Chain A
Amino acid sequence: MLEIKDLKVSVEGKQILKGLNLTINKGEVHAIMGPNGSGKSTLASVIAGREDYTVDGGSITFNGKDMLELSADERAKEGMFLAFQYPVEIPGVSTINFLKTAITEIRQYRGLPPMEAKDFLKMLKEKQKLVEIETNLTGRSVNEGFSGGEKKRNEIFQMAMLEPSLAILDETDSGLDIDALRIVATGVNTLRSKENAFVIITHYQRLLEYIIPDFVHVLYNGKIVKSGTRELALELEGKGYDWIKKEFSELAV
């Protein structure tokens, strides 16, 4: 589904990703862990199509298509979704209208007519229930005045509405209390299917107690230095990142 090969990315002349490889298949949940500054958020942003980064080499293909040729909105229309680490407030634009527009655009790209109003409302209700988000929040301007937890739940709600085939969750667990964490995890676990895939980017393994990943990768210094299963996350939790830093410090040179 997603294939990243030897990806090299820099920002303002500083290289951040230094030849990253990652393959994700349908039905899989991958966790990417790593210390601060290892390039986790850069990876999420570059996959989603943020333009502040320079891709110096390598490739990102998604369902056989070269993503580096596509703009951020085209990637979303192809079925990608990025849940932001810091969701943006958009005053004056209600979440419902925003989603209606997004769904219409995505459907149009795929040659589908706009969704019937009653189908949209039905879906809205279902997905609101899923992430336990109140109607008064979705009727309000996107994220405006939301608490940190509400913003993250709104990300999962939007993900549920847009039904992406690949969702990247960028530190969705940061700043969440245990209840919000559970709600986010329930959302992801319910949406998880054989047809879609998730990438969970996180610093801690806490979220992975609720969302069980198929694979865990450690990103350090712009490269994936270790891959394994759930046990790797637990090992990191026990030992911290220092041993990774020590073991792979030669890569920093």
Chain B
Amino acid sequence: MELVTAKTNSSRGALGEAEIIKNKSVLDKWINEVGKRLGEARNTIKSIQQKAEENFAAVGLPNKKTEDFKYTNIRSYLQEDYIAKHGKILVGVQDFEPLLTDDFVSVVLINGKYVPEYSRLKKLPEGVAIKSLFKALEEGDQIAIKQFNAGLATTANPLAMLNTALAGDGIFISIPENFSCPIPIHIANICTGEVKSLYNPRHLVYLHTNAELTLIESHHSVKQTGKTFTNSATEFYIENNASLENYILQDEDVLSQRNDVRHFTVNTGSRMNSVTISLDGGMVRNDPTVFINGENAEVHLNGLFVVKEDHHTDNHTMVEHRAPNCFSNELYKGVIADNATGVFNGKILVYRDAQKTNAYQSNKNILMGDKATINTKPQLEIYADDVRCTHGTTTGVLNEEALFYMRSRGLNEKLAKNILLQAFAKEVSNTIKNETFRNLIEQKIEQNIQ
């Protein structure tokens, strides 16, 4: 166990005037392309967006010198020539119908924008709000107005700033007090288009006191012929004694590049379980931050990433224990094949007052092939003295002894490998409680690992 006693300052030096002007001009180009932004719904939001513009201009897009992006140089994926405009929708519901199931309330987002006519809200229980974030702000929803950027404002992540500055729309979900949503809500994210595009969807999910929700998100490429960079940001607020199950499947085309920023605020006695399954996509970066703000909260943060060819998947996680008597557990497993690169950089930060914290973190990777790379960096930063925290990481190849054992019982090498990889993945997929989705994920993993 590593015990850090001084907070490290990881920001790079301030940028020069010329660079700030350049950042501003890139941002202005994108602002013009976006058109209507969330600020148009509400003046208070406008000022938040203006502040984010300034903040972004001061730092610009992250590159390798940005500490938190050391292994994922965003500038090599996203450049000025990406167009931040939503084109005409070229897909119909028939193009992705199999992705929607009657077991869930289905919310369809095309390139991050809510499309009510493609969505299926018939089974949505009364009292649960699902609407476009723009509309929620425009209607004066007090939660949406009050919470917008409340969580993300605390982060120094340039891509979160970019999202806040450019956000035009996204989804707003609110679960009322003492209500357990009996049916999972599924957000089907369809990535499509012909032009090199930048999207900045912004979502807000709010669970009132003692509310419960299973939120499933899946990402798919449909009729995608142009490169996309989707820079999405979602804020979750889990009020006292509320419970969130959040499952994410990333299964996109190589043309799709995705940065997924999440900010969870977890309050007293509440519980969350977030499971991210990253199966494909040219570049994927998952960047969840959890603030544990109240006592007796329980946080589970799990991920499985399978990276192939020359693709890149980065999981950058932060769990901040800001209150005593809480539990967090993090498990990320990676299978990295071919020339692919995987990254795991997870940090647990325990505040001085967060006594009796139990925090665990584990990262396990399997490299399939000589050219596969994993960069893994688990970190603990602890200021309280009465805590139990562990972290560990292992990286290896498939167990040769186990392979021979299985082959000696009649399984050919490929089958034996597949079974071992599936077993490796299962430890993560097993944390998905919803059976329908877990079965789908396990099928997907099986196909993907072949």
Which residues on A are within 8 Å of B, measured CB to CB?
A: 48-51, 71-73, 75-77, 81-82, 84, 87-93, 98-99, 101-103, 105-106, 109, 141, 158, 162
A90 in contact with B410 (CB, 8 Å): no
- With a cutoff of 8 Å between Cβ atoms, the chain A residues found around residue B77 in the complex are none
A116 shortest CB reach to chain B, Å: 19
- With a cutoff of 8 Å between Cβ atoms, the chain B residues found around residue A93 in the complex are 419-420, 423
Contact of B411 among A49, A51, A73, A87 (CB under 8 A): A73
A162 in contact with B410 (CB, 8 Å): yes
B423 in contact with A73 (CB, 8 Å): no
How far is B404's CA from A49's CA once the two chains are assembled, in angstroms? 9
- With a cutoff of 8 Å between Cβ atoms, the chain A residues found around residue B408 in the complex are 48-49, 72-73, 75-76, 81-82, 84
A101 in contact with B411 (CB, 8 Å): yes
- With a cutoff of 8 Å between Cβ atoms, the chain B residues found around residue A72 in the complex are 404, 407-408
Question: In B396-442, which residues have CB < 8 Å from any A CB?
Answer: 399, 401-402, 404-413, 415-416, 419-420, 422-424, 426-427
Q: Which 8 A-B pairs have the closest CB atoms?
A: A92-B423, A76-B410, A72-B407, A88-B405, A73-B407, A102-B409, A106-B410, A102-B410
A46 shortest CB reach to chain B, Å: 12
Cβ contacts B347-383/A at 8 Å (1 or 0 each): 0000000000000000000000000000000000000
A172 shortest CB reach to chain B, Å: 14
Kindly name the residue among A81, A82, A101 whose own CB sees the greatest number of chain B CB atoms within 10 A: A101
A165 shortest CB reach to chain B, Å: 13
A76 in contact with B424 (CB, 8 Å): no
Q: Which residue of chain B lies nearest to A50 when distances are taken between CB atoms in the complex?
A: B404
How far is B424's CA from A48's CA once the two chains are assembled, in angstroms? 26
- With a cutoff of 8 Å between Cβ atoms, the chain B residues found around residue A162 in the complex are 409-410
Contact of A92 among B401, B406, B410, B426 (CB under 8 A): B426
- With a cutoff of 8 Å between Cβ atoms, the chain B residues found around residue A88 in the complex are 399, 401-402, 404-405
Number of interface residues of B (CB under 8 A): 22
Can you list 27 A-B pairs, Cβ within 8 angstroms, ordered by A?
A50-B404, A71-B407, A72-B408, A73-B407, A73-B408, A73-B412, A73-B413, A76-B409, A84-B408, A88-B405, A90-B405, A90-B406, A90-B420, A92-B424, A93-B419, A93-B420, A98-B406, A98-B419, A99-B409, A102-B406, A102-B409, A102-B411, A105-B410, A105-B411, A109-B410, A158-B409, A162-B409
A133 shortest CB reach to chain B, Å: 16
B413 in contact with A71 (CB, 8 Å): yes
B399 shortest CB reach to chain A, Å: 7
How far is B419's CA from A93's CA once the two chains are assembled, in angstroms? 8
- With a cutoff of 8 Å between Cβ atoms, the chain A residues found around residue B411 in the complex are 73, 101-102, 105
Q: A76-B409, A76-B410, A88-B399 are in contact. Are A105 and B415 (CB under 8 A)?
A: yes
- With a cutoff of 8 Å between Cβ atoms, the chain B residues found around residue A89 in the complex are 402
- With a cutoff of 8 Å between Cβ atoms, the chain A residues found around residue B415 in the complex are 101, 105
- With a cutoff of 8 Å between Cβ atoms, the chain B residues found around residue A73 in the complex are 407-413, 416
- With a cutoff of 8 Å between Cβ atoms, the chain B residues found around residue A49 in the complex are 407-408
- With a cutoff of 8 Å between Cβ atoms, the chain B residues found around residue A48 in the complex are 408
B172 shortest CB reach to chain A, Å: 39
- With a cutoff of 8 Å between Cβ atoms, the chain B residues found around residue A91 in the complex are 423
B427 in contact with A92 (CB, 8 Å): yes
Q: Which residue of chain B lies nearest to A143 when distances are taken between CB atoms in the complex?
A: B405
Given contacts A73-B408, A75-B408, A102-B411, 10 further A-B contacts (CB under 8 A): A49-B407, A49-B408, A72-B404, A72-B408, A76-B407, A81-B409, A82-B408, A98-B406, A102-B410, A103-B410
